Amino acid sequence: MSGNEFYKKVSDNIGKVIIGKEEVIKLLLVALIADGHVLMEDVPGTGKTKLARALAKSVSADFSRIQFTPDLLPSDVTGINVFDMKSGEFHLKKGPVFTNILLSDEINRATPRTQAGLLECMEERQVTIDGDTYALDEPFFVIATQNPIESAGTFPLPEAQLDRFIMKLSMGLPEKQEELSIIDRYFNNDPLTELDAVISKDDIANARREAGNIFVHEAVRDYAVNIIQKTRNYEGVLNGVSPRGTLALIRCAKAYAYLSGSDYVIPDHIKALCVPVLSHRLICGSFNSGKTGREVIEKIISETVVPTEDFKG
């Protein structure tokens, strides 16, 4: 299966449930193929949970959801050993992280201790419980959400955890015509209940291998690094993009090229990914004229010379 076929099959299937969010769906698939995790920042009711469930159904994957609250414990996320009175032994009761696609809803409502419980799972693809380590199934893909409006009673994600997300996305509110289409689509029933799988977990593994072989010309690598280097010296930015962000951008660019049906990465792929992959990694100071990470990245892109060589290699 080609990357283009993979993308069309999954995006068309998700499109039966989610209307008018083609670019968000593509970026979500890019993150999945790049073996990363996604943070979605949006107001409630924009379809984040629907999107995660539609993706899980489309790829025939296990799905779990955690509603993060201040009283949630790390063991509620990872699991716990429970003593069996009959056998006189401890047995592992697996937590919701033992899945393929995990929706961490309102992650910033949990305490830092519980948030940190996800770090090992996201980075190492494993869980340690009472000294024993358990590998998580592949794929393991976290979609975390947070509400940007209600800040009372929340615990902002530390930079160390923000950096673990390969992308930060936003669904956004629909246009009028899209909202009318949503009413029509959901008027009699929920299309999610009738959604069937169109690819398997093996197809994801194959897609990841093929995306890993996508060619990235030296000039394109140089272009990406130029952008990232500028974030470290940009006026008003306290902390720029780390080398982890550099690798994330290249991995995503290869996945983006693969899903676009290309055998190699071009500068336009880098430009399309800079904001979702890099903007949440910036720490902007109060003397930055109120610029957001997104605005800084967009400004840097406009100031960076785009290479014009033959990128096929």
| DSSP codes of every residue in 52-78 | HHHHHHHTT--EEEEE--TT--HHHHH
Residue 290 has pLDDT above 90, yes or no: no
Q: What is the mean pLDDT of the chain?
A: 89
Residue 220: per-residue pLDDT: 95
- Neighbouring residues of 177: CB distance < 8 A, sequence distance ≥ 6: none
Structure tokens at 13: 């299937």
Q: Which amino acid is at 125?
A: R
Is-contact 99 66, C-beta < 8 A? no
Residue 169: per-residue pLDDT: 94
> Binning pLDDT at 50, 70 and 90, where does residue 229 land?
very high
**Range in 145-159, 233-247, 275-289 the model is least confident about:** 145-159
SS3 for 134?
Answer: strand
SS3 for 43?
Answer: coil
89/224: higher pLDDT: 224
Most confident listed range (27-36, 180-189, 275-284): 27-36
> Binning pLDDT at 50, 70 and 90, where does residue 130 land?
confident
Residue 115: per-residue pLDDT: 85
Residue 250 has pLDDT above 60, yes or no: yes
pLDDT tens per residue across span 184-211:
988 888 889 889 999 999 999 999 999 9
Separation in Å, CA 69 to CA 74, 104, 156, 162: 11, 11, 13, 19
- Neighbouring residues of 293: CB distance < 8 A, sequence distance ≥ 6: 278, 279, 280, 281, 282, 284
Please report, rounded to a whole number, the percentage of residues in the chain having pLDDT higher than 90: 52
Name the DSSP letter for residue 108.
Answer: G
Is-contact 40 169, C-beta < 8 A? yes
> Binning pLDDT at 50, 70 and 90, where does residue 173 land?
confident
The domains found in the chain, sorted by start residue, are 3-202 (3.40.50.300), 213-303 (1.10.8.80)
* Nearest alpha carbon to residue 309 among 213, 214, 220: 220
pLDDT tens per residue across span 58-93:
998 899 999 998 899 889 999 988 888 888 888 889
147/179: higher pLDDT: 179
Residue 235: per-residue pLDDT: 82
- Neighbouring residues of 312: CB distance < 8 A, sequence distance ≥ 6: 215, 217, 263, 264
Residue 111: per-residue pLDDT: 87
* Nearest alpha carbon to residue 33 among 258, 213, 284, 200: 258
Most confident listed range (4-8, 148-152, 290-294): 4-8
Structure tokens at 263: 């055998």
Query: DSSP labels for 150-199?
Result: --TT--PPPHHHHTT-SEEE---PPPHHHHHHHHHHTSSS-GGGG----S
Q: Whole-prediction pTM value? A: 0.91
Residue 212 has pLDDT above 70, yes or no: yes
| Bridge partners, residue 92, by sequence | 81
**Range in 14-28, 105-119, 217-231, 295-309 the model is least confident about:** 105-119
Is-contact 279 297, C-beta < 8 A? yes
Residue 209 burial (10 A CB sphere; 0-12, 13-18, 19+): exposed
